Amino acid sequence: MIDNRLYTDLSLCGTERASCDIIVRVVRDAVETHFAEAVGALTPGPARDPDLPVRPGTSLTGTRCRELFAVQLGSRLLDVAARVMRERDEGFYTIGSSGHEGNAAVAAALRVDDPALLHYRSGAFYLTRSAQAGRLAEEGLRDVLLGIAASSEEPIAGGRHKVFGHPDLAVIPQTSTIASHLPRAVGVGFAIERARMLGLPSPWPGDAVAVCSFGDASMNHASALTGLNTAAYGRFRGLQIPVLFVCEDNGLGISVKTPPEWVTQARHPLLEYFQADGCDLAETYDVARRAVEHVRANRAPAFLHLRTVRLMGHAGSDVEIGYRTRKEIAADLERDPLVRTARLLVEAGLAEPDELLARYEAERDHVLKLASECARRPRLTTAAEVMAPLAPRRPEAVAGEVVRSAPAEARERAFTTLPEQEGRLTVAQAINRALADAMAVDPGVLVFGEDVARKGGVYGVTRGLLRRFGAERVFDMLLDEQAILGLALGAGVSGLLPVPEIQYLAYLHNALDQIRGEASTMQFFSQGAYRNPLVVRVASYAYQKGFGGHFHNDNSIAALRDIPGVIVASPARPDDAAAMLRTCLAAARTDGSVCVFLEPIALYHTRDLFEEGDDGWLAPYAPPARWAETHVPVGRARSYGDGRDLTIVTYGNGLRMSLRAAVRLTAEDMGCRVLDLRWLSPLPVDDLMRAAELTGRVLIADETRQSGGVSESVIAALVDNGFRGPIARVTSQDSFVPLGPAAGTVLLSESDIERAARKLLA
Ligand SMILES: Cc1ncc(C[n+]2csc(CCOP(=O)(O)OP(=O)(O)O)c2C)c(N)n1
């Protein structure tokens, strides 16, 4: 029975550190005491053959049950250790798995090579899988304890976070953003089948099942709904997506109750549904096996609903008594899965209560000793150490990869006329040809998004790719940017090279977490063991003629530029667009880079620069033999003109406007040079400084907004690096872009640039 006195004390606790320590201890004691009392009271049954079912009607044998009890116990003691470590200031993470140890049976129903994306309550799953891989029990425990201790020796995140992950166990680490891994899990399931279909190598076997677990409250999240819906939609359309969703339903999201039966009622109707009492190991094992078998055999998604409990609160310092009744807490304890498995063993005559209690104590000592050892292991001590795996950059290797072109026959199949023989191309045409070239050389390149296949994109950029490369590699997705990016992340982590398209920049924002929280953190939290190479093409910026309004003319990229490690490319000209796309694809392949490729919609089909009919914005497509010399490394700008009076720093649409303004100014003896940044993250700081020093005066022409726009960083870079000359900037307004001619009132214009330049030169 739970000790009510202790919980009464708890309600008096404040949130000071000392009080928190008491809370942590009291809650831990309550769970441990309950285990001892409940197991001590069990009545042994007649001895059964351990090779037979541990209980009539189950497929779980006594031997397997004993093994799984061992990992369940290990998982429970990791939570105990996390709390003890916290009390000693040796541990930094106390969200535990107590009450969810039934997920050991889910792991047992899967294979060690089935890719797993796990909920943070997956201690028992992880330990089971570790044992399945032939590792010693102690190794799995140590992995987790090193994570709690934030030690740099922790095998996956190296002390950067406490996650479940291991490259040898096919466990892909997840961030703390609940549910954000479901879209990726669908992508992994999709990629298992797609790689098999295309005959491509994959880290996962062709008959693998992707598994993805999450809590009941998380199931309400938009990203979770995206994952569930995408899998169901794919299935509805006849696609094979072997993904098993496991909802571990403890009825709570921190303090908020999930209405009873909500998960059952709100589950996706098109997903095969399995449910089990997650506190009953034998039942969970039987049902999980059926669910896994369904997914594996049918290559179809399924939803496994496990009813669990949450013991020891949400995390160490959570004062559960503040929002739950004692009766509710006690009812959870009565369902303690560790006690339930102990009962299975005792009633099958496979263990004595005293033996299990002695084992608990011995194992507890062992885990706490391991915890003390782990707490003494090294931690990350410098920013350089912390950041080492963030976004590896090997520019020489990338340059080497850029020149890898498709064999002549493959190119001839890909193009009716080779693009280098087509004459001068527009930006849209150049990107289209570079995509085709990439697809011809690398069968793992997949192009997908909204309207990219049959229609060839709203602006025709992907036109013809479906016909040439087939529906397996060029396909339309359902209308959900999270689904598009999630699929890309799953494909990327599975060895493919996804090139998804986001139809308009504004719509990237409602799926940004897939880049911000998921894609960009993968190498950081796995020390490069897992990576998600990605080139997201985004139709971007304003100045569209005839198709106005904010959402088709968004000019904000602030949310992208502060994501550590993400490459933001912003080509303006056709030749740069093709070369920079090659660079991004090579960086993705070589370094696993996450690249956002911002395509200026208004320049897609632009032909002229200075005068009507001058074709000044067209450029020829470089043949593969010239890809080395035309290579544009990440972080290198392009300079125009040789004026000595003023440097105009710009990019995107600003380049064309600045070049036009510069010609007029130069004609009046005001010598201008124009610098196209081309890369907005990382900024080409060296080129910027050189161009600035050459004239001693800088005008920044920035089509993004005044607040949070690119110009802020350019000014900061100039000042930080010691530029002392005058600096001015012209930007768009801090406004959304209105429909029709009014758009011009809030957007940077050519005359703004010219006026500001004259002022700076006056
Ligand atoms: C997107 C996001 N919002 C909020 C949080 C903070 N948070 C962490 S866990 C949690 C509750 C999750 O509950 P549930 O999915 O039921 O899982 P449980 O903890 O009960 O296992 C919340 C709100 C988060 N991690 N991510």
Task: Please tell me the pTM assigned to this model.
Answer: 0.96
The number of angstroms, rounded, from the C-alpha of 258 to the middle of its chain's C-alpha atoms is: 26
- Burial of 170 from C-beta contacts in 10 A (0-12 / 13-18 / 19+): buried
Does the pLDDT at position 176 exceed 90? no
528 lines ligand 1 (CB under 6 A): no
* Tens digit of each residue's pLDDT (9 = 90 or more) over 606-643: 999 999 999 999 999 999 999 999 999 999 999 999 99
Closest ligand 1 atom number to CA of residue 513: 1
Mutating to test ligand 1, I would choose from 254, 255, 512 the residue with most ligand atoms within 8 A of its C-beta, which is 254
**Residue 388: pLDDT band with limits 50, 70, 90:** very high
549 lines ligand 1 (CB under 6 A): no
CA–CA gap between residue 702 and residue 749 (Å, rounded): 10
Rg of the chain in Å (alpha carbons) = 29
217 lines ligand 1 (CB under 6 A): yes
The percentage of residues in the chain with a pLDDT greater than 70, rounded to a whole number, is: 97
- pLDDT value, residue 11: 45
- Quick one: which of 612, 556, 603, 553 has its CA closest to 575? 603
- pLDDT value, residue 17: 66
213 lines ligand 1 (CB under 6 A): no
Single-letter amino acid code for the residue at 445 = V
CA–CA gap between residue 288 and residue 305 (Å, rounded): 9
Q: Do residues 185 and 227 touch, judged by C-beta distance below 8 A?
A: yes
Residue 445 makes CB contacts below 8 A (sequence gap 6+) with 435, 438, 439, 473, 496, 497, 498, 499, 585
Kindly give the distance from the C-alpha atom of residue 6 to the centroid of ligand 1, in angstroms, as a whole number: 27
* Tens digit of each residue's pLDDT (9 = 90 or more) over 87-116: 999 999 999 999 999 999 999 999 999 999
Closest ligand 1 atom number to CA of residue 248: 21
- pLDDT value, residue 500: 98
253 lines ligand 1 (CB under 6 A): yes
Residue 744 makes CB contacts below 8 A (sequence gap 6+) with none
- Quick one: which of 99, 75, 106 has its CA closest to 335? 99
Report the mean per-residue pLDDT for the chain. 96
Collapse the DSSP code of 446 into the 3-class scheme (helix H, G, I; strand E, B; otherwise coil) and give the result: strand
Does the pLDDT at position 401 exceed 50? yes
How many Cα neighbours within 13 Å face the side chain of 521? 21
Closest ligand 1 atom number to CA of residue 214: 15
Kindly give the distance from the C-alpha atom of residue 110 to the centroid of ligand 1, in angstroms, as a whole number: 25
- pLDDT value, residue 28: 87
CA–CA gap between residue 472 and residue 236 (Å, rounded): 17
216 lines ligand 1 (CB under 6 A): yes
Angle between helices 62-87 and 337-347 (to 10 degrees): 150
Closest ligand 1 atom number to CA of residue 179: 1
* Tens digit of each residue's pLDDT (9 = 90 or more) over 691-704: 999 999 999 999 99
Kindly give the distance from the C-alpha atom of residue 216 to the centroid of ligand 1, in angstroms, as a whole number: 9
Kindly give the distance from the C-alpha atom of residue 209 to the centroid of ligand 1, in angstroms, as a whole number: 25
Collapse the DSSP code of 751 into the 3-class scheme (helix H, G, I; strand E, B; otherwise coil) and give the result: helix
Collapse the DSSP code of 136 into the 3-class scheme (helix H, G, I; strand E, B; otherwise coil) and give the result: coil
Does the pLDDT at position 12 exceed 90? no
Ligand 1, atom 13, residue with closest C-alpha? 253
Q: Do residues 447 and 473 touch, judged by C-beta distance below 8 A?
A: yes
Kindly give the distance from the C-alpha atom of residue 158 to the centroid of ligand 1, in angstroms, as a whole number: 24
CA–CA gap between residue 175 and residue 163 (Å, rounded): 7
* Tens digit of each residue's pLDDT (9 = 90 or more) over 557-591: 999 999 999 999 999 999 999 999 999 999 999 99
Calculate mean pLDDT across residues 285-304: 98
121 lines ligand 1 (CB under 6 A): yes
Mutating to test ligand 1, I would choose from 162, 218, 256, 310 the residue with most ligand atoms within 8 A of its C-beta, which is 218
Does the pLDDT at position 20 exceed 80? no
CA–CA gap between residue 676 and residue 656 (Å, rounded): 10
- pLDDT value, residue 402: 97
Closest ligand 1 atom number to CA of residue 249: 16
Calculate mean pLDDT across residues 708-714: 98
CA distances 138 to 71, 81, 101, 430, Å, are 10, 14, 18, 56
* Tens digit of each residue's pLDDT (9 = 90 or more) over 312-351: 999 988 889 999 999 999 999 999 999 999 999 999 999 9
256 lines ligand 1 (CB under 6 A): no
* Tens digit of each residue's pLDDT (9 = 90 or more) over 505-526: 999 999 999 999 999 999 999 9
Closest ligand 1 atom number to CA of residue 221: 1
- Between the two ends of the chain, the Cα-to-Cα distance in Å is 85
638 lines ligand 1 (CB under 6 A): no
Does the pLDDT at position 417 exceed 80? yes
Mutating to test ligand 1, I would choose from 98, 122, 174, 178 the residue with most ligand atoms within 8 A of its C-beta, which is 178
CA–CA gap between residue 172 and residue 525 (Å, rounded): 10
181 lines ligand 1 (CB under 6 A): no
* Tens digit of each residue's pLDDT (9 = 90 or more) over 472-514: 999 999 999 999 999 999 999 999 999 999 999 999 999 999 9
- Quick one: which of 64, 83, 86, 73 has its CA closest to 338? 73
Length of the chain as a residue count:
762
**Residue 663: pLDDT band with limits 50, 70, 90:** very high
Does the pLDDT at position 10 exceed 70? no
263 lines ligand 1 (CB under 6 A): no
Kindly give the distance from the C-alpha atom of residue 533 to the centroid of ligand 1, in angstroms, as a whole number: 28
- DSSP assignment string, 519-577: GGGTTTTTTTSS---EEEEEEE-S--SS--SGGGS----HHHHTSTT-EEE---SHHHH
254 lines ligand 1 (CB under 6 A): yes
Query: Strands, E, within 653-693: which ranges?
Result: 672-676, 679-681
**Residue 2: pLDDT band with limits 50, 70, 90:** very low
Q: Name the DSSP class of 480.
A: -
Catalytic residue among 181, 268, 294, 552: 552
Calculate mean pLDDT across residues 380-398: 97
- pLDDT value, residue 740: 92
Does the pLDDT at position 13 exceed 80? no
Q: Name the DSSP class of 602.
A: G
220 lines ligand 1 (CB under 6 A): no
Closest ligand 1 atom number to CA of residue 219: 15
Residue 237 makes CB contacts below 8 A (sequence gap 6+) with none
302 lines ligand 1 (CB under 6 A): no
552 in active site: yes
Cα dihedral: 557, 559, 561, 562 (round 10): 160
* Tens digit of each residue's pLDDT (9 = 90 or more) over 740-749: 999 999 999 9
Angle at 712 between CA 708 and CA 716, to 5 degrees: 140
Q: How many CB atoms lie within 10 A of CB 406?
A: 19
Closest ligand 1 atom number to CA of residue 223: 1
Kindly give the distance from the C-alpha atom of residue 524 to the centroid of ligand 1, in angstroms, as a whole number: 22
Ligand 1, atom 8, residue with closest C-alpha? 178
